[in-house]
Amino acid sequence: MSDVTFSSADNAEDPYAGVRETTEGPVYTVTGQDWEDVVGAAAAGEERVVVNMGPQHPSTHGVLRLILELDGEVVTEARAGIGYLHTGIEKNLEYRTWTQGVTFVTRMDYAMPFHNETAYVLGVEKLLGITDDIPERANVIRVMMMELNRISSHLLCIATGGMEMGALTVMTAGFRERERTLDIFELVSGLRMNSAYIRPGGVAQDLPPGAVESIREYLRWMWDHIGEYEAFCNENPIFKGRTVGIGYLDLAGCIALGITGPMLRSTGLPWDLRKSQPYCGYETYEFEVPTRDTCDAYGRFRIRIDEMRESLKIIEQCLDRLEPGPVMVADKKIAWPAQLAIGSDGMGNSLDHIRHIMGESMEALIHHFKLVTEGFRVPPGEVYVPIESPRGELGAHVVSEGGTRPWRVHFRDPSFNNLQAVPATCEGGNVADVIVAVASIDPVMGGCDR
């Protein structure tokens, strides 16, 4: 900062700007407009107003800042400002073991933690060369948890989007079903969010007793209630008046901006990585890829409802496929945790394994200690693994230099890419339509600011 200088003219008319001395040197506070040409436009006599929506605003889905230039009620220029939720997760991964990294990546897009974990873990497994060694039961559980997560994420999008448009009944119903979905997360993994459940080599633990019955009951509930959203909104003239033709972005625009997920499928293109580039055995499941040709917020809403129905079908197939077997790869030099089970205290433990390593085998104790504290080594190389998240293509670029920690992990998060559509979907519309357009994009800022 000491190399940065500002003239007194820069701060002459700004009461909040200035310089203060600290033990680390001078600290400069600067403020200003968002476009350099605003001043020139004002001098030319043009009546334009720059409005900041957010970053602390319910309608921006978190700490998203929307900078809008208005001509009356019409948006003439729109720009998305991000970075207010930066966590440094990608950098932190370089200082943690490969298994510990799951605990970090699950917190990126906090609305789809199981997809974050899966993309990262598939990359690690590809570097290890154990993709084909993952037990079938583990893959089935992964698919089931991701589809449950897809439902909970779409419910969150529909509920908050409805709330922002004044459809409070949709909001309360959406959160009701989402709570039941999070209850399943807690039953299976122990946590409602950020579970770190999907690990390199499999999953952290097997399904607890009664989980299959609880999930089947959940499916019966969802099939009975998912039609409420369609009854509330599909032919509701107020809802259609707020969404039809709003946030328009056609196929050419989506391709040019790298848009994926429901936004892309609302243009009629059935691009879904579960079909086009299957992983975790998705090619063996029967489901459809819903599409619309409206290219607007209404079509994206309908697609998410349709996708929840398809997810329910996939979950039913998962339950029918659950055969007894291991949930972690057999290689003891990678598998962690490998010998854990849910005890009567609700904590993960295996008394037989503890008895073995603590009282019978010094070699097993040493190996356990090194695996937990140091972790396993991953051969040098780099891979990119994409999966289909609720918001589109989520890709993990994982790089190893042969150590027990990642050299670099970078994520292609769909919220980050899809936010490029803000100008295209908002400019030319009214201020009130900006809220609907952003809601149809469904950005989650934890995924943007990694």
Q: Is the pLDDT of residue 8 over 50?
A: no
CB atoms within 10 A of CB 302: 21
pLDDT for 346-393, tens place per residue?
555 566 666 766 666 677 777 777 777 888 888 999 999 999 999 999
Task: Give residue 194's pLDDT.
Answer: 87
Q: What is the CATH number of the domain that holds 291?
A: 1.10.645.10
The verdict on residue 250 lying in a domain is: yes
What residues make up the domain containing 415?
89-336+375-448
The verdict on residue 95 lying in a domain is: yes
pLDDT for 419-428, tens place per residue?
999 999 988 8
Inter-CA distances, 7 with 11, 12, 303, Å: 7, 9, 54
Average pLDDT over all residues of the chain: 83
pLDDT for 33-62, tens place per residue?
454 555 555 555 556 788 888 777 666 777
CA 236 remoteness from chain centre: 30
Helix (H) or strand (E) holding 68: strand 65-71
The verdict on residue 254 lying in a domain is: yes
The average pLDDT across 11-26 equals: 65
Q: Is the pLDDT of residue 344 over 70?
A: no
The 3-state DSSP class for residue 127 equals: helix
The verdict on residue 381 lying in a domain is: yes
The verdict on residue 412 lying in a domain is: yes
The verdict on residue 346 lying in a domain is: no
Nearest to 448 by CA among 422, 425, 414: 414
The average pLDDT across 130-152 equals: 92
Provide the number of structural domains found in the chain: 1
Which amino acid, one-letter code, is at 26?
Answer: P
Task: Give residue 373's pLDDT.
Answer: 80
Percent of all residues in the chain with a pLDDT value above 70, rounded to a whole number: 85
The verdict on residue 363 lying in a domain is: no
The values of phi and psi at residue 174, to 5°, are: -60, -45
pLDDT for 61-85, tens place per residue?
778 888 888 888 888 888 888 888 8
Task: Give residue 353's pLDDT.
Answer: 66
Task: Give residue 332's pLDDT.
Answer: 78
Q: Are 377 and 128 in contact (CB under 8 A)?
A: no
The verdict on residue 267 lying in a domain is: yes
pLDDT for 274-317, tens place per residue?
999 999 999 999 999 999 999 888 999 989 999 999 999 999 99
pLDDT for 435-447, tens place per residue?
889 988 888 888 8
